[in-house]
């Protein structure tokens, strides 16, 4: 419950429609794409200008009220989960593409601009924005920067951090700061890389300059079927080992492809244990040469069938299946839990085999879709939240997958962020000294810990309580989030 005088001060800054306090109005903000965790905010503010953001943060800082910045709410780690007694600061109205410069190949955009909208706007200049999360039709660029989002073409073109030139943001004190530069490099510490992927813990982003790339003259995708999941996993390593860096390299197992085929009819071979999608792009000559190499490696790796897209429509159809994997799985299960972990490519066969074993042990189906080229796994654990015990088993299964990622030399997140979901995994992956250094960076930007508290980096006290989460009254509590 916010102090009435504080609420009155917020109301004085904003139009009536931009301040939400009634339960029925704040309910849509109680969670993001990770619906296991829910919390009603005390208020939601929807500013339209940077000056309003500055003044809101100044008010919250003075009153010691926590603030959670939110974009489109597509986060899958609880990164924009509200804090009880706090304010959600929505950037949904920051939707302008400020400028596109085809000479410098850059675009200046506000954080509420959808990912796909950038490429749509740049298309007239023969350019595109490379990072393409599966949620690109809905997710906003500010959230992409906050989570350092990836996508199916990031193996060749890099993650968000590799495609952002400059970020303008507001500190919790109301100070406007800029990270990066219009030039290719900037003096001093690389604070641009620090703020990219910082999950809203350090500042509230208000403007972003992104790098644009020329559209390839041609792109083709090879669809390869395998009768064994481990063979498909080994083929991924063989492709990279052959010196090929595809435009995209994705993998889906049979449960995923069967769900997708029912949804988008992408013409996937349903009898295959796993499917690889391998794309080559560039000039027609480059694509032809690379596709010959890809075919040879896939054949040597045991592919039972290889199809190469014959036109752009067929290429997009093959990719539509991968892009629609999450909603497709949502059609066949009351609930699903999407895991995000990253492993060395060579560990793919072992990890996939272990996930299958655990799936049988827990009695929970698991569909695997992932950015195979960079080892970023997305197991989708299917469950029913209305069945007693399903949530507990699902969370335990997911935790074991993340711990296995660490065990084989990987990490607890590749692109979805830590949020609240992987706080326990951070305690496993990092020693106390490293966590304390992370917290020191947080304090340097936000001494009072008001920006997105309880997310991203666990306190040492929280790590001491590792494993203390339990299901109660149909929801998973999160005691590590401070109450204000």
Reported as a single tens digit per residue, the pLDDT across 121-134 is: 999 999 999 999 98
CATH architecture for residues 333-431: 2-Layer Sandwich (3.30)
pLDDT at 484 over 80: no
pLDDT at 36 over 90: no
Q: For residue 474, what is the DSSP state?
A: T
| pLDDT value for 474 | 34
- Measure the CA–CA gap between 108 and 236, rounded to whole angstroms: 36
What's the angle, vertex CA 264, arms to CA 92 and CA 253, rounded to 5?
A: 100
pLDDT at 468 over 80: no
Strand 67-70 versus strand 87-90 pairing type: parallel
What's the angle, vertex CA 238, arms to CA 266 and CA 153, rounded to 5?
A: 45
- Fold exhibited by the domain 97-214: 3.30.465
| Mean pLDDT over each residue of the chain, to the nearest integer | 93
Q: How many CB atoms lie within 10 A of CB 270?
A: 13
- Measure the CA–CA gap between 203 and 313, rounded to whole angstroms: 42
Average pLDDT (247-253) is 95
Question: pLDDT band at residue 464, thresholds of 50, 70 and 90?
Answer: confident
Average pLDDT (422-451) is 96
At 281, phi and psi to the nearest 5?
-140, 160
| pLDDT value for 252 | 96
CATH top-level class of 4-90: alpha beta
**Which helix (DSSP H) or strand (DSSP E) does residue 379 occupy?**
strand 376-383
Q: Which residues pair with 100 in a beta bridge?
A: 107
Report percent pLDDT > 90 for the chain: 88
Listed in sequence order, the residues at least 6 apart from 27 whose beta carbon sits closer than 8 Å to its beta carbon are 40
Q: For residue 267, what is the DSSP state?
A: -
- Fold matches, 4-90 and 97-214: no
Structure pTM? 0.92
- Measure the CA–CA gap between 156 and 212, rounded to whole angstroms: 14
Question: pLDDT band at residue 183, thresholds of 50, 70 and 90?
Answer: confident
Residue spans per domain, the chain: 4-90, 97-214, 218-327, 333-431
- Fold exhibited by the domain 218-327: Alpha-Beta Plaits (3.30.70)
């Amino acid at each position: 419950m916010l102090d009435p005088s504080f609420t009155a001060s917020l109301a004085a800054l904003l139009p009536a429609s931009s301040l939400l306090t009634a339960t029925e109005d704040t309910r849509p903000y109680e969670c993001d794409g990770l619906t296991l965790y829910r919390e009603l905010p005390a208020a939601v503010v929807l500013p339209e200008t940077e000056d309003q953001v500055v003044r809101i943060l100044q008010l919250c800082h003075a009153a010691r009220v926590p603030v959670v910045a939110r974009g489109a709410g597509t986060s899958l780690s609880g990164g924009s989960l509200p804090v009880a007694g706090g304010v959600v600061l929505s950037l949904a109205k920051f939707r302008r593409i400020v400028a596109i410069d085809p000479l410098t190949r850059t675009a200046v955009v506000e954080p509420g601009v959808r990912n796909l909208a950038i490429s749509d706007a740049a298309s007239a200049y023969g350019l595109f924005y490379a990072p393409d999360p599966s949620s690109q039709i809905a997710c906003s660029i500010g959230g992409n920067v906050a989570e350092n989002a990836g996508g199916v073409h990031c193996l060749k073109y890099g993650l968000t951090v590799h495609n952002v030139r400059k970020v303008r943001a507001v500190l919790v004190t109301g100070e406007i700061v800029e990270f990066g530069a219009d030039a290719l490099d900037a003096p001093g510490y690389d604070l641009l890389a620090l703020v990219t992927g910082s999950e809203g813990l350090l500042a509230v982003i208000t403007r972003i300059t992104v790098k644009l790339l020329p559209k390839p003259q041609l792109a083709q995708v090879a669809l390869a079927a395998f009768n064994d999941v481990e063979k498909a996993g080994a083929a991924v390593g063989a492709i990279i080992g052959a010196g090929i860096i595809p435009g995209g390299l994705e993998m889906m197992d049979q449960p995923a492809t069967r769900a997708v085929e029912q949804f988008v009819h992408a013409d996937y071979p349903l009898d295959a244990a796993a499917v690889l999608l391998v794309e080559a792009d560039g000039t027609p000559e480059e694509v032809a040469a690379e596709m010959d190499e890809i075919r040879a490696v896939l054949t040597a790796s045991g592919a039972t069938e290889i199809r190469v897209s014959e036109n752009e429509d067929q290429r997009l159809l093959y990719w539509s299946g991968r892009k629609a994997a999450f909603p497709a799985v949502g059609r066949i299960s009351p609930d699903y839990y999407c895991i995000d972990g990253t492993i060395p490519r060579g560990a793919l066969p072992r990890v996939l085999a272990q996930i299958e074993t655990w799936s049988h042990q827990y009695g929970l189906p698991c569909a695997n879709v992932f950015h195979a080229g960079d080892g970023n796994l997305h197991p989708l654990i299917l469950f029913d939240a209305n069945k007693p015990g399903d949530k507990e088993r699902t969370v335990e299964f997911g935790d074991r997958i993340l711990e296995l990622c660490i065990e084989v030399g990987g990490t607890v997140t590749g692109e979805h962020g830590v949020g609240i979901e992987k706080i326990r995994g951070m305690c496993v992956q990092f020693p106390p000294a490293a966590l304390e250094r992370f917290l020191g960076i947080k304090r340097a930007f936000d001494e009072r810990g008001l920006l997105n508290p309880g997310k991203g980096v666990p306190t040492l006290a929280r790590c001491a309580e590792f494993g203390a989460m339990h299901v109660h009254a149909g929801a998973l509590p999160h005691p590590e989030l401070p109450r204000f």
